[in-house]
Structure 1
Amino acid sequence: MTSTLGFAIMAVLARGARTGYELATAMSRPLGYFWTAGHSQIHVDLQKLLAADLVRFEAEHGPGPQGRKVYHLTPQGREALRDWVTEPPRSRPERDELVLKSYASWLADPEQVAELFRERLAEHEARIAEYERQQADFEDVPAADRPAFGNYATLWCGLSYERHRAAWCRWMIEQLGAGS
């Protein structure tokens, strides 16, 4: 049974062969906007994927004294990834600390709670600006059978999410009587 992180790694490798370092970099942007993993987590799952023959690597000479491994998806890995994409996602419990804080906000000083939401609002607005810059790089929605479509789809979701969260933060600030 491949983990979700394993499928995330395979999704990156489906776009092209990469070293472990390049995988970690790809897991930070753009994948890191919605799925994060540390280098050590990636290494553990890579070993599991290798053992399952879902990925392989080619040894190459590196820039230093040690060689480097360039990982690629095997045909079995591509098939497993293709099958996984259409399966319903696993249920996961929602854990949103800011929502939990809003649930208990009636206990705190409204101005302090409003300040918390102003800080979050600034973070969401910064992400919106970044996502809009990235969206401007697309002239149109890419064809659904191209890797760029996945980039656009996740960007669209991220932009919608950030706009929603920013609107909620503004609403909370207004409800707390603190203005913006």
Structure 2
Amino acid sequence: MPDALPDTALDQLFRTARTFNGYTDAPVTEADIRAIYELAKMGPTATNQHPGRFIWCTTPEAKEKLAALASDSNAAKVRKAPATVIIAYDKNFHEHLPTFFPHVDARPWFAEPVGRERSAQQNANLQAAYLILAARSLGFDTGPMAGFDAKGVDAAFFADQPDYHSIMIMTVGHGDPSSIQPRLPRPPFDQFNTIL
């Protein structure tokens, strides 16, 4: 059984980690992006389905293209962040299951389209959370956002992949402490938990 992480690691991942609205000028390199993904991909998904699809916007052109499809306040964040990742799900992820779940043909388990898409959304959201934790683990900060035109993003970035649907955008970089407000309240255990 592994040991618990030290408090410094728990602080970095959870207790003192924050969602940032602005970043320093420190870059996020392709090597950094690859390192974040290499950690995040290790998180579990149902039947190892890996429905998440990711486009990392790092050039001024890509950031401007995405910013034009974000709400006003989020557009400014996208333009200023060193990197912003578009997180989408592939509703036909099951076609890849022979590779990722090779010990049995699990494709028939996802034959029903509505249930398959729901599973893709749920598991891509898990993968978004893993990206946050992976980035924090490697010393980066993140700013996940939902304020954007998802259909517009799909048309602009996934036109050649009509089965991909964006669910979130997330800035990544080294956070500027002046861009955050005091931490908002978190619910105590007894408010939303029951042990039976």
TM-score higher than 0.5 here? no
Q: TM-score under structure 1 normalisation? A: 0.23
Structure 2 length normalisation: TM-score?
0.22
Give the structure with the larger helix fraction.
1
Greater relative contact order (Cα < 8 A, sep 6+)? 2
Larger Rg: 1
Q: Which has the higher strand share?
A: 2
